[in-house]
Amino acid sequence: MCGIVGYIGNKKATPVLINGLLSLEYRGYDSAGVAVLNPSNDNYILNIIKDKGRVKNLEANPELENLIGNVGIAHTRWATHGMPSKGNAHPHLDNSGKFAVVHNGIIENYLELKNKLQDNGYKLYSETDTEVIPNLIHMNYNGDILEAVSKTMKELKGSYAIEVISPLFPDKIVIAKKDSPLVVGIGKDENFIASDIPAVLAHTNNFYFMDEEEIAVVEKDKIKFYNLDLQEVHKDIKNIEWDAESSEKNGFEDYMLKEIYEQPQAIRETIGSRLSVDKQVELGLDEIDFSKFNKIYIVACGTAMHAGIAAKYALERFCKISTEVDMASEFRYRNPLVDEHTLCIFISQSGETADTIAALKLAKSAGATTISVVNVIGSSITRLSDYTIYTHAGPEIAVASTKAYTCQVTLLNILAINIAESLGYSSNELNQFKVDLLELPDKVKIALESAQEVKSFADKTCTQQDLYFIGRGLDYAVSMEGSLKLKEISYIHSEAYAAGELKHGPIALIENGVTVIGVATNPVTTEKTLSNLEEAITRGANVLVVTNQDIRNDKIGMLLHIPETHPYLSPIISVVPLQLFAYYIAKAKKLDVDKPRNLAKSVTVE
């Protein structure tokens, strides 16, 4: 992985490809490259330019001007097999130099295929798994590229989204997909290919979404889709309402900061008509008989998993169904107790998270009812799930998720209300919960006013090597997310602990000058959290507390007050200062907050 772009039409391909790659930089990558079919006399030749590092390295290459063809493919790579290098960068060629391929995903049986190719006289020059693909296509090619790609796909185990170009078919790009996202954007006498919508959103709002194990032949004026057995498949065009401008920074220094400040509006749009001012809930889930479930699993990775933890409390409280949150990467390897009486909720910003997709397939095979909470329309998880409810966060470009998280927690809490009411549960608390939900956008906006205080604390803290976050209950869930944000973009070692566990080991790490951040928003647990913070202060810790309670303690280094709300909704507000804290520490360290090292926005490999 990580990003794919393709173009075929009447324009010069290279600018479209480069701009597309730049739009995908948020996914994280370590090398980039392009392949273009250049006209040469009456024929075409394949020209490839690639390099380690950023797309700007390609832009600076003077040879790029020589790529004048109208057909091309491009890629940003996030290393899986083989270190970041020019040789390992995509596109890759077969030994004959006739087939150029870019690939997202992982070929799990590449060593077996490599041995097969070598036994047949092929040489492989890179350390990548990808290089087997163009050589297999060459081996399987007998004049019919569709047949060659189909045969190759049947030999591949793992995940892939691939583009193939060749002077043997200069008016076509052949693409294929399995467990890795791929879309085709439709233009007038031109078509676009991408692993993610923002890459080509400046050119079109109309898309085809590739399904599992499909092949497509893309020409400038037509597109045909086939299944693995080369039977033609009909697909419907999807219109995407995002606009290209919404993917720009709009005056903010970084996408992450822009997305932090977009949260009030994103939450407002996520609530939308799902929870009306007269407190009616509508999620389009009326077909589900929630009374048959005796267990709910929430399955996700990273930040999305933290959103699930933040929603678990409302689901159990209001729906009275035992709810468990699981890491997608662990879920399918522990033989979970899943059957037709299980509701499984899968959360993913991109809808393409490989571990979550694998867990979803397992749950469906066991008979569970599946609901996905996703931000990207038409993504793989939405097509696999029985039901999908979309967040309305809009494009999230920064690798570190912010507005997607708060929208996920918001929507999951609305889902809890929906389930509770469908089961016939109602209470004054539930009614007040709806009121508090509707007030969230304005309260998040107020929380953003703490930015300068947070920046002041971050500037004093940015040289620390270790930081600790503590909280109880949902405040612990927020602490985990705050700690993750700090790790992701500042590269500072950070841990989150349930506050009551501090004295059961972690307090040994607290010494003079160490920073501890406490979250205390629940009146039931605030006093106990403050007692745990006192234990840290006694040992010399510098303490910041995020709270909506009336706390008066002159030993606390900084108190950040946020608006009060229902304790189950507090993670949507209390996370905001922690997002800003991570951002300002990374900026103080002069780091690239939008594209942190080693991370990818859409993790499409397990």
What confidence tens digit (pLDDT) does each residue in 60-108 have?
888 888 899 999 999 988 767 777 888 888 999 999 999 999 998 878 8
Which CATH number is associated with domain 2-246?
A: 3.60.20.10
Domain 448-588 -> CATH class: alpha beta
Residue 250 binned pLDDT confidence (cut-offs 50, 70, 90) = low
Based on the residue annotation, tell me whether 601 is a catalytic residue of this protein: yes
What confidence tens digit (pLDDT) does each residue in 480-490 have?
999 999 999 99
Q: What's the mean per-residue pLDDT of the chain?
A: 88
Closest CA to 397 of 5, 10, 20, 24: 24
* Residue 604: pLDDT over 50: no
Q: Is 294 exposed, middle or buried (0-12, 13-18, 19+ CB in 10 A)?
A: exposed
Report pLDDT for 537. 82
What confidence tens digit (pLDDT) does each residue in 310-325 have?
999 999 999 999 999 9
Whether the Cβ atoms of residue 507 and residue 500 lie closer than 8 Å to each other: no
Query: Given 312, 434, 595, 601, which residue is catalytic?
Result: 601
Residue 599 binned pLDDT confidence (cut-offs 50, 70, 90) = low
What residue spans define the domains of the chain? 2-246, 249-438, 448-588
Report pLDDT for 249. 66
Q: What are phi and psi of 246, to 5 degrees?
A: -70, -10
Q: Which fold has domain 249-438?
A: Rossmann fold (3.40.50)
Q: Is 427 exposed, middle or buried (0-12, 13-18, 19+ CB in 10 A)?
A: exposed
Q: What are phi and psi of 75, to 5 degrees?
A: -155, 145
Q: What are phi and psi of 431, to 5 degrees?
A: -65, -40
Query: Given 2, 319, 344, 407, which residue is catalytic?
Result: 2
Whether the Cβ atoms of residue 319 and residue 425 lie closer than 8 Å to each other: yes
Based on the residue annotation, tell me whether 487 is a catalytic residue of this protein: no
What confidence tens digit (pLDDT) does each residue in 368-409 have?
999 999 987 777 888 899 999 988 887 788 888 899 999 999
Kindly state the helix (H) or strand (E) to which residue 125 belongs, with its residue range: none
- For residue 236, how many C-alpha atoms fall within 13 Å in the half-sphere facing its CB? 4
What are the E-state strand segments in 281-439? Answer: 295-300, 323-327, 342-348, 369-374, 387-390
Same fold, 249-438 and 448-588: yes
Alpha helices in 42-106 (DSSP H): 55-59
The predicted model gives 519-528 an average pLDDT of: 88
pTM assigned to the model: 0.69
* Residue 156: pLDDT over 90: yes
